[in-house]
Amino acid sequence: AQSVTQLDSHVSVSEGTPVLLRCNYSSSYSPSLFWYVQHPNKGLQLLLKYTSAATLVKGINGFEAEFKKSETSFHLTKPSAHMSDAAEYFCVVSDRDSGTYKYIFGTGTRLKVLA
Amino acid sequence: EPEVTQTPSHQVTQMGQEVILRCVPISNHLYFYWYRQILGQKVEFLVSFYNNEISEKSEIFDDQFSVERPDGSNFTLKIRSTKLEDSAMYFCASSEAGGRRDGYTFGSGTRLTVV
């Protein structure tokens, strides 16, 4: 069965320093992978997606992620954190199980950005 | 940019009462979903809906839950007799092509509080 593991429940970085949010996945098929962001009291916003095209995916707000099949990883990075990046980030795998594609969410990583 | 709209944003109900959560998906989308997030826990799949019928549902989605697309634009989630453990944030989502490649668009959620 497919699953997603977000290795860190909390990450703190200083403003202007790089961000790394880690995600490993398990999938029986060729998965699609997504990163979503949730700001406080807001909905889930799509940051970026991997759907078997380029392995390095660029998203909104300067985020990018690299799909590494050999490591079953899809880590999210940003060169320089901004205060507005403080939020909860979810790694998601979309995989075919019983005939439909449904999302399996990771447990989330709360990013804190320090001034 | 097209949005998925959910109403109400917050609903408080007494245990045992029926609630209906409403969603207006993006107009050209064909696949609809409900997910929920209990406070402090991961986002969980409830149900997917396509071609006017449920295509998949999780173990959470028992006989107390139902979904409907009554008029071609709204997509509703009904909980017949609410329990305290139904308190959660409920997210509606839609996708054009099933979510594997295109990703879902989520609404901003309805926070349901059962007292």
Size of interface A-B (CB pairs under 8 A): 60
- The reply to whether A5 touches chain B by the CB within 8 Å rule is no
A6 close to A111: Cβ distance less than 8 angstroms: no
β-pair type (A87-96, A101-105):
antiparallel
B 1-30 → A contacts, CB under 8 A: 4, 6
CB contact (8 A) between residue A94 and residue B109: no
Number of helices followed by number of strands (H, E) in chain B: 0, 11
User: Average pLDDT of A62-76?
Assistant: 95
**pLDDT value of residue A96:** 63
Nearest Cβ partner for B56 among A100, A104, A105: A100
* Weakest-pLDDT range from A22-31, B19-28, B30-39: A22-31
Q: From chain B, pick out residues whose CB is under 8 angstroms from the CB of A104.
A: 45
The amino acid at residue A74 is F
